[in-house]
Structure 1
Amino acid sequence: MKKVFNKCFIILGVILNIQMVNAQRVALKSNLIDWATLSPNLAVEMRLNQRLTLDISAAANPFSFTIADMKATHFRFQPELRYWFNRPMARHFMGISLLGGLYNVKFKEHLYEGDIWAAGLTYGYAFVLSRHWNMEATLGIGMAKLRAFDYREGEEKPATPNLSKWSPVPIRLGLSFSYIFK
């Protein structure tokens, strides 16, 4: 998991360094819904042209405690290409979103350790609060390939993942505040 985390930040750094040269607008964002699920998160959105932006977000829940017989940790990386109907970072947008993540879930005596890869469509609206501040609501749905080691506590972990399926998932759900650098 540490290797995946490091690779994601290297890719993000390269993209930011390339984009900063020509960027007219860059926003730094955080999703309140992720914070409510105890998942620290951060996103960067970069303007590509008059109608397109690239949003790259990462979230993780490294905390290990049990609530209602469930314990879960995860890491998630989500790039999204957005088309803005008005102008970038204001009002309505549609997006194509990708999702990659690792998860470890314990529900009662059942353990799931695996990864998720997904793609889908999103819709959102950015409320302009001031020259530098926005609030953004986002909702998206997509299809995900889930792969996991599925076993019970006390049993030996299988040698290969024994759960693999496609499933519709909410690919994005957000209420974010963003600070726009102009």
Structure 2
Amino acid sequence: MYKMIQFRVLFFCVLVFVTFPLFAQKMALKTNALYWGVITPNAGVEFAINNKVTFELLGAYNPWTFKDDKKMRFWLAQPEARYWFCEKFEGHFVGIHAHGAQFFGGFNSTRYDGYLAGVGISYGYDWILSPYLNLEVSLGLGYAHLWYDKSPRIYCEKCKFSERKNYFGPTKASVSLVYTF
């Protein structure tokens, strides 16, 4: 059993290192510093479709509970298709993104348990800092639909009621460190 696991790990490593040169300047790993500023771990991956189009998938997760059981836990997924005006991973770009999240918690006397989904457009710029490291700034505007249960912060099944809201406005903001392969 142990030898089989070792073989699989070794096979995976060899496969990654053999195919690694095939991804040169076609893939990037990134993280959004703005999310880290509010203690939300996040990571993204972006793949080149061709020389002008890329596809990004960003994920974030906030698991923290603060003093007095105050929290706003959530997970977020935000895919985006981008068109680059110069070439991929360099200069100006525009994008179309979607977003989906699940959240629960609250900081005041109210608890929220719900979901959101929506779409938006974005604009950004990517600066090349070194052959493998870039700095990217992006801002997006769009729509999100939220549906959630609202109750006192100490959960009460009989006291909850459901709400739905529509939101129009900023849906994306990023200052990202990008490592290109």
The TM-score by the shorter chain falls in which range? 0.7 to 0.9
What is aligned with 1:114?
114
Q: In structure 1, what is the Cα distance between the partners aligned to 2:154 and 2:105? A: 15
Note if 1:39 corresponds to 2:19: no
Q: In structure 2, what is the Cα distance between the partners aligned to 1:175 and 1:23? A: 24
What is aligned with 2:3?
none
Q: Percent identity?
A: 31
Change (3 A) 1:134 1:154: closer
Give the aligned CA root-mean-square deviation in angstroms: 2.3
Which residue identity does 2:61 align to in structure 1?
A
What is aligned with 1:53?
54
Offset of residue 133 of structure 1: 0.6
Q: In structure 1, what is the Cα distance between the partners aligned to 2:146 and 2:109? A: 20
Change (3 A) 1:132 1:158: farther
Q: Structure 1 segments of 4 or more deviating over 4 A?
A: 20-24, 158-161
Figure out how many residues of one structure are paired with residues of the other and give that number. 161
Per-residue CA deviations over 1:47-67 (Å, capped at 9, x if unaligned) read 001210001010000011149
Q: Give the unaligned 5+ runs of structure 1.
A: 1-19
Offset of residue 40 of structure 1: 0.4
Q: Secondary structure at the match of 1:162?
A: strand
Which residue identity does 1:40 align to in structure 2?
P
Change (3 A) 1:88 1:155: closer
What is aligned with 1:179?
179
TM superposition score normalised by structure 2: 0.82
Q: Give the unaligned 5+ runs of structure 2.
A: 1-19
Offset of residue 35 of structure 1: 0.5
Q: Secondary structure at the match of 2:66?
A: coil
Which residue identity does 2:47 align to in structure 1?
M
What is aligned with 1:16?
none
Which residue identity does 1:167 align to in structure 2?
Y
Change (3 A) 1:46 1:155: closer
Offset of residue 71 of structure 1: 2.4
